[in-house]
Amino acid sequence: MTKATRLLTALPPPQRARLMELAREVSFAEDAPIFEAGGTADRFWVVRSGAVSLTQQVTPQRRVTVASLGAGDLLGWSWLFPPYRWDFGAEAFSPVRAYEFEAQAVLKLCEEEPALGMSLVRIVAEILAHRLEMTRGRLMEQYGSHRHGAL
């Protein structure tokens, strides 16, 4: 399995410093919604402390947690890809402190500094690949034994 990549520590220090110029410190109370699936994805966060649950509404009455994020984790990637809508919902599982980044400002910086843009896209891709691998592993654990070898 791939190891988890952290956006801010994976960026080279000069690029990290440039990105952090755009950061704003925010906080969310326990159980506070951060975003809803289908909403406009116009920002992202890097969790500083606390825990965030990524959720999916599977029926009108049932929402399931598909992933839990903690300190250092990237929250939100839909701002990077059309149609710029959240694929999941997110809520604070505990009190959360995070750095918030406005998508338009970050995208403008990426256009001005293509090396930073390429680094950012590669790191987000690594994060997504890791999360996909983790999700696949959880699904195999949950459902693999019921299928007896069928994928």
**pLDDT at residue 151 is higher than 50:** no
Per-residue pLDDT, averaged over 76-89, amounts to 93
Name the nearest CA neighbour of 30 among 92, 99, 98: 92
Q: Cβ distance 30 to 95 under 8 Å?
A: yes
Q: What per-residue confidence (pLDDT) applies to 52? A: 96
pLDDT band at 1 (very low <50, low <70, confident <90, very high): very low
pTM: 0.86
